Amino acid sequence: MGRLVIVSNRAPSIDGTGDSGGLVVALKDALAKDGGLWIGGAPEQTDTPAPSLVFHHRPDFDIGLFELEPQLYRDYYLGYSNSLLWPALHGRVDLIDVQPRYAAAYSEVSRRLARMIFETVRADDVIWVHDYQLIPLAHELRALGCGNRIGFFLHIPVPGLETFKAIPEWRDLAAWLAEYDLIGVQTQRDLAHLINIFRHTLRGELRYNGNMGINGREVVLGCFPISINVEGFRRLAEEGSVGTPPPPLPRLIGVDRLDYSKGLPQRLAGYETFLSQYPRFRGQVSLLQIAPPTRDDVEAYRDIREELELRAGHINGLYGTVDWTPVQYIHRALPRDELAVLFRLSRVGLVTPLFDGMNLVAKEYVAAQDETDPGVLILSQFAGAAEEMPQALIVNPHDPQDMAEATRTALEMPLAERIARHAALYDYLANHDVEYWSASFLKRLLAVETIDLHWISRYAGQQPGVKAS
């Protein structure tokens, strides 16, 4: 194998700051092995973008940044990606904003990026594309004659066929996806939806090995639930400290980007029902909700912020006393090590999205607990993580009564049961951490049979991996 080339909407920082969480940690080793390259959007837009990737060298891997004009970036990122694809793929078709210029910008970015990547990749490099912002990339690379192995991982959910069809370009999206060699999704639920979409849109045929025959070639499909650095997060929680320790009440904690998919108003409705039905807990527990801002330029995000603030104010006004605030709401990002400690100090972790690809907070909460006195995870049935974490208390976030019951159960759960549930969850996570995730995906991608030459030559009339001069 040549280099691993990761492509994502955003690249890691050039100086390595902010590497502590997520993908960078997961992929560092694989990238470092053969002088890997991470290609991603430059943090700032410019009116005069460079025509090629702008390279930076890090000791562990290289970074190639692509630059975009501010308007193109807005239409591609805030527009098509986050005002159409994000709500549609999360089942919120009521929030989609369809604009022809968004669709044009979305295709244009992948087209430009494909040219820049094709100038750079070597024949034996393996390309791994991440997420919904870059779905057309394999199509554009193939059109240039790129014969490299190309894998794609979708971090967010695949909705049912009828919801998917609300996206005006649904046929194109399905066809673009089918040009990858391997498509990875988070859950069995997503896999079933994807198979259904391919069947109906491209007459895809499911093969005995779980792959799909589409347009005379085989597309490999797989379910690869993403995870975290379990051991690393546990250490952060054990060793870290918080600036100001929170009040010593049993705490419920929620940590979510302020996004309508995370079910924050519904979470507060469940908490309000809990306080109303079980008055003995008033003054005895508190809910700490950390919800840093995100995509503030999109209207739906401003709306969800207002709704959350109203609801938090309503509960505090209704039940708060001079010495007790039922909801503490922080609309800022906290340092990662502080989060880890706060998870450990909280008796209940509330992870109740309406729809979520995976939800890493659920895994972080479990990893952070003290195994001799662990807290309880309350987890939405609609989070991808629910497929892997049945020992959590699984709830329907649309049902405040169910949420209230689960909250009471969690707060009253005997120590032995908390330990047993936590041990089962932790053992599973320890064996399925983020390294396991990336290694499984790459192993499958490397096992993909060589690409069908006829299919490549249809586009470019040349050998795979050989660049057009």
- Residue 235's alpha-carbon distances to 325, 337, 363, in angstroms, are 31, 9, 14
Q: What is the chain's Cα-based Rg?
A: 23
3-state secondary structure the chain: CCCEEEEEEECCCCCCCCCCCHHHHHHHHHHHHCCCEEEEECCCCCCCCCCCCEEEECCCCEEEEECCCHHHHHHHHHHHHHHHHHHHHCCCHHHCCCCHHHHHHHHHHHHHHHHHHHHHCCCCCEEEEECHHHCCHHHHHHHCCCCCEEEEECCCCCCCHHHHCCCCCHHHHHHHHCCCCEEEECCHHHHHHHHHHHHHHHCCEECCCCCEEECCEEEEEEECCCCCCHHHHHHHHHHCCCCCCCCCCCEEEEECCCCHHHCHHHHHHHHHHHHHHCHHHCCCCEEEEECCCCCCCCHHHHHHHHHHHHHHHHHHHHHCECCECCEEEECCCCCHHHHHHHHHCCCEEEECCCCECCCHHHHHHHHHCCCCCCCEEEEECCEHHHHCCCCCEEECCCCHHHHHHHHHHHHHCCHHHHHHHHHHHHHHHHHCCHHHHHHHHHHHHHHCCCCCHHHHHHHHCCCCCCCCC
Closest separation between CB of residue 118 and ligand GDG, Å?
A: 27
Closer to ligand GDG by CB, 199 or 336: give it. 336
Catalytic residue among 90, 155, 193, 422: 155
Binding site for ligand GDG (CB under 6 A): 21, 155-156, 226, 255, 257, 290, 292, 333-336, 339, 356-361, 364
Cα pseudo-dihedral 388, 392, 398, 400, rounded to 10: 180
Closest separation between CB of residue 286 and ligand GDG, Å?
A: 18
Closest separation between CB of residue 249 and ligand GDG, Å?
A: 21
Closest separation between CB of residue 254 and ligand GDG, Å?
A: 10
Closer to ligand GDG by CB, 339 or 429: give it. 339
Closest separation between CB of residue 12 and ligand GDG, Å?
A: 15
User: Catalytic: 314?
Assistant: no
Closer to ligand GDG by CB, 212 or 339: give it. 339
Catalytic residue among 125, 259, 356, 433: 356
Closer to ligand GDG by CB, 155 or 347: give it. 155
Q: How many angstroms separate the CA atoms of 447 and 402, rounded?
A: 45
Closer to ligand GDG by CB, 26 or 121: give it. 26
Closer to ligand GDG by CB, 191 or 358: give it. 358
Closest separation between CB of residue 389 and ligand GDG, Å?
A: 13
- Residue 346's alpha-carbon distances to 113, 249, 417, in angstroms, are 44, 9, 17
Closer to ligand GDG by CB, 150 or 236: give it. 236
Q: How far apart are the first and last CA of the chain?
A: 24
246 class by beta-carbon count within 10 Å (0-12 exposed, 13-18 middle, 19+ buried): middle
- CB 342, CB 242: distance < 8 Å: yes
Closer to ligand GDG by CB, 114 or 327: give it. 327
- CB 109, CB 373: distance < 8 Å: no
Closest separation between CB of residue 349 and ligand GDG, Å?
A: 11
Closer to ligand GDG by CB, 21 or 145: give it. 21
User: Catalytic: 155?
Assistant: yes
Closest separation between CB of residue 82 and ligand GDG, Å?
A: 11
Closest separation between CB of residue 288 and ligand GDG, Å?
A: 12
Q: Active-site residue numbers?
A: 155, 356
